[in-house]
Amino acid sequence: MSVAVAKPGEIKHNYLNAGDTVRSWLLTTDHKRIAVLYLVSVTLFFAVGGLLALLIRLELLTPQGDLMTSENYNRVFTMHGVVMIFLFLIPAIPAVLGNFLVPLMVGARDLAFPRLNLASWYVYMAGGLIATWAMVNGGVDTGWTFYPPYSSSYSTSQVTLTIIGAFLVGFSSIFTGINFIVTIHKMRAPGLTWFRLPLFIWAHYATSVIIVLGTPVVAITLLLVAVERVFRLGIFDPALGGDPILFQHLFWFYSHPAVYIMILPAMGVISEVIACFSRKRVFGYHFVAFSSVAIAVVGFLVWGHHMFTTGQSVYAGMVFSLLSFLVAVPSAVKVFNWTATMYKGTIEFRAPMLYVMGFLGLFVIGGLTGLFLASLATDIHLQDTYFVVAHFHYIMVGGTIFGYLAGLHFWWPKMTGRMYPEGIAKLAALIIFAGFNLTFFPQFVLGYLGMPRRYHWYPEEWQMLHVMSSAGTALLGIGYILPIFYLLWSLRNGALAGPNPWGATGLEWKTDSPPITHNFEETPIVTEEPYAYENHHQQEEVASGTGASTTKG
Amino acid sequence: MNNGHDTHTHIVPIKVYLLVYVALLVLLVATVGAAYLPGHHTLLNNVIALTIAVMKAVLVVLYFMHVRYSTRLTWLWASAGFFWLVIMFILTLGDYFTRHWVPVQGWE
Ligand code: HEM
Ligand SMILES: [Cu+2]
């Protein structure tokens, strides 16, 4: 390797110390610094969304609505949904890990459009702040789905402002998607053919396809709600001559694929971590790569499964139900292939790997319950109950957050040059897993028993299950706060990581940690398949990676 | 900004733009004309109007948006966008056209 590597203790030139004024951060066009800006922002919004979740679970501790009024409860769960989905789950992995890693993994110096990248952060912040402002100024009570005619004709809350916020955030993600697509097409290092790309890149490519082809639709749809609201034009409200189901068609045309915007990047992380900590090639690399693309395409054919009880044509319902079963196939392919990758591997249960194991369990439960919901008849019973709430939390929160935390720990040494403390990181992973299941598993039972979602009072006999769920939230809260502390602590006190503490394959590990501003001293040349773990025994890297075997904590 | 961007742009003669403009106007007149066809051909009218609309969109995309002079990759993405739009229309209209077929008691 022709890369200059810092000796432990020596302060090398890198992207972090390339300038320390606020201005140098706010006007940076370095994808790695923008990733850090996003890291800070999504963490803040996650904290806001998390506090709102705590409020919801606090209210639901007792059968009576004694903590807040119905109106306020509506505002709280709506803002929780809006903040978590638009400001955390959608941008978390692509904008933080993707931004940092896509150029490194393809051997480029930056993304194709660095200034567009910075613009995307500003647009995201503007949208986020507008939504937050709307929340402080009266809030919204429509639910994160903004269904008209309630949102367009009846709600007296800050619908227009929130929609403008969501609209802007949508454009921020379009910018990121365009940047990834062009970078992956045009800027791969010599020798890096499509089938030598890491699966993380394939996942981000598929995600970008969904973003670019889906997000404009939801952006315009939300804008149409605002137009109907402000100018009283009849688009969705039947009283004005509109079609009430049209909104749901347009909204879910984006929002079903959007669930894959959240989960596909996580799946990319899972593939990387599993290969590394099993020391094996990903089983069926081509299948895993193409399943990402298949998900991106087929994901656009199933939106009607959110509309089985709306008065949508029964025939359309049947078609959508059938297609929904198809979309489960590529996800299952991935799970089978990951399992096969671990089979007979040399598995090492580091913290990222624990999150991956958690991901697999939660994703399977979440995915299989999707099949209950995709069946017309069972959905009639389960629609708009806590069963749906549990389903999408298992799959989105379980999937995305576990993937995000796995990736954050896995690449933390690359991003910061320091190791996180292994012991406490493992403990946090276990707490989060336990807290997660305690929070959301009872919700499947509640939903099956008939507890509707979005209500803040309920019959007494369901209290026990609600108490379990709220207790789980407390545990989950502790679990999420821990990484904030020990990761910050590691910035100063963590062991030095060296360029490749895990002995992993992939171009990102062939440069310094933290990387220099231009990523590589010279353009790398790729001569190998990805995940060639069996080819070399990595001993040289493992031995020199000071951090790997001597973590503190 | 990065390694060797393709900075070359195709220069389209004004004549082409004018021709496309005229073609769009002719198609516009055709749409309006079709709406005045005698009788109540709602379905036929819709088909004609949509066909003309697609033709107009293709002209705009190819010439005004320069796709005609762009790389194959741009072609691929433009067609993908179109294909996705078709998915959206077909499945949504699939619901719309079959919505009232099943008689449900108490539901007009
Ligand atoms: C990555 C995977 C998935 C994610 C992130 C996800 C996410 C979601 C979300 C967020 C909702 C609720 C939307 C709302 O009303 O607020 C939902 C509902 C639903 N999901 Fe999933 N889902 C996934 C996979 C699946 C699969 C594989 C199926 C079926 C094969 C499925 C079927 C359904 C159905 C039918 C509903 C509507 C339930 C109802 O409202 O009655 N999901 N999903
Ligand atoms: Cu869906």
Residues in chain A closer than 8 A to B1 (CB atoms)? 113-114
**Cβ-based contacts of B80 with chain A (< 8 Å):** 209, 213
What's the confidence (pLDDT) of residue A244? 83
Q: Is A328 on the interface with B (CB under 8 A)?
A: no
Q: What is the pLDDT of residue B12?
A: 83
How many C-alpha atoms does A431 have within 13 Å on its Cβ side? 18
A326 reaches B (C-beta below 8 A): no
Q: Is the distance from CB of A386 to CB of A447 less than 8 angstroms? A: yes
**Contact (CB, 8 A) for A127 and A172:** yes
Of B2, B77, B91, the CB nearest to A109: B2
Asked if B1's CB is within 8 angstroms of A113's CB, the reply is yes
Interface contact flag, A213 B88, Cβ < 8 Å: no
Task: Name chain B contacts of A116, Cβ cutoff 8 Å.
Answer: none
Nearest to A362 by CA among A340, A341, A331: A331
Which ipTM did the prediction report? Answer: 0.84
- Listed in sequence order, the residues at least 6 apart from A24 whose beta carbon sits closer than 8 Å to its beta carbon are A18
Q: What pLDDT does A11 receive?
A: 64
Q: Is residue A301 within 8 angstroms of chain B, CB to CB?
A: yes
CB-based pocket (< 6 A), ligand 1: A 145, 259-260, 262-263, 305-306, 324-325, 327-328, 331, 367, 370-371, 373-374, 379, 382-383, 388, 391-392, 395-396
Paired strand residues for A462:
none
What confidence score (pLDDT) does residue A65 get? 86
In angstroms, rounded to a whole number, what is the distance separating the alpha carbons of residues B18 and B14? 6
Sign of dihedral through CA atoms A490, A491, A492, A496?
positive
Residues A224-248: b if buried by 16+ CB within 10 A, e if exposed: bbbbbbeeeeebbbeeeebbbbbbb
Q: Which residues in chain A (250-289) have CB-CB distances under 8 A to chain B?
A: 250, 253
The pLDDT of residue A171 is 96
Interval A36-82: pLDDT, tens: 999 999 999 999 999 999 999 999 999 998 899 999 999 999 999 99
Which of the residue ranges A21-30, A487-496, B35-44 would you say has the lowest mean pLDDT? B35-44
Task: Among A5-9, A415-419, B48-52, name the one with the lowest average pLDDT.
Answer: A5-9
| SS3 assignment, position A70 | helix
Q: For A311-347, what is each residue's pLDDT tens digit?
A: 898 899 999 999 999 988 999 999 999 999 999 999 9
Give me the pLDDT at residue B87, please: 94
Nearest to A142 by CA among A74, A204, A188, A94: A74
Binning pLDDT at 50, 70 and 90, where does residue B38 land? confident
Give just the sign of the alpha carbon dihedral A456, A457, A458, A460.
positive
CA of B103 to nearest chain A CA: how many angstroms apart?
11
Q: How far is A210 from chain B (nearest CA, A)?
A: 10
Residue nearest to atom 10 of ligand 1 (CA): A392
Mean pLDDT on A273-284: 95
CA of A392 to the centre of ligand 1 (A): 6
Q: Can you tell me which atom of ligand 1 is nearest the CA of A143?
A: 16
Q: Do A313 and B81 touch (CB under 8 A)?
A: no
Owner of token pair 């320390």: A20
Distance from CA of residue A282 to its chain's centroid? Answer: 22
Tell me: the pLDDT tens digits for A259-278?
999 999 999 999 999 999 99
How much is the pLDDT for A19? 84
- In A, which residues are within 8 Å of B96 by CB distance? 243, 313
Residues 60-99, chain B: which have Cβ within 8 Å of A?
73, 77, 80-81, 84, 87-88, 91-92, 94-99
For residue B7, the model assigns a pLDDT of 52
Question: From atom 16 of ligand 1, which residue's Cα is the shortest distance away?
Answer: A145
Neighbours of A266 (CB within 10 A): 29
**In A, which residues are within 8 Å of B101 by CB distance?**
313-315
Question: What percentage of chain A exceeds 90 in pLDDT?
Answer: 88
User: Does residue B54 belong to the interface with chain A, where contact is any CB pair within 8 Å?
Assistant: no
pLDDT-based confidence at A536, cuts 50/70/90?
Answer: low
Q: Per-residue pLDDT tens for A138-196? A: 999 999 999 999 999 999 999 999 999 999 999 999 999 999 999 999 999 999 999 99
Q: Which residues 331-370 of chain A have a CB within 8 Å of chain B?
A: none
Asked which of A107-111, A202-206, A432-436, A548-552 is least confident by mean pLDDT, the reply is A548-552
Average pLDDT over residues A4-31: 80
Residue of B nearest to A183 (CA): B2
Length of chain B: 108
Give residue A454's region: left, alpha or beta (phi > 0; psi -120 to 50). Answer: left
Q: What percent of chain A has pLDDT over 70?
A: 95
Per-residue pLDDT at A541: 47
CA angle A185, A508, A501 (to 5 degrees): 160
Give pLDDT, residue A103.
97
Q: Which of A122, A91, A310, A77 is nearest to A215 (CA)?
A: A91
> Residue A428's pLDDT band (boundaries 50, 70, 90)?
very high
Chain A to chain B, count of Cβ pairs less than 8 Å apart?
A: 62
Q: In 3D, which of A251, A256, A238, A388 has the Cα closest to residue A320?
A: A256
Confidence of residue A440 (pLDDT cuts 50, 70, 90): very high
SS3 A307: coil
Three-state DSSP state, A170? helix
A277 phi, psi to nearest 5 deg = -90, 0
Interface of A with B in 376-395 (CB under 8 A): none
Q: Per-residue pLDDT for A553 more than 90?
A: no
Nearest neighbour of B95 by CB, restricted to A110, A187, A312: A312
pLDDT in tens, B87-98: 999 999 999 888
Q: Output the CA A256–ligand 2 centroid distance in Å.
A: 4
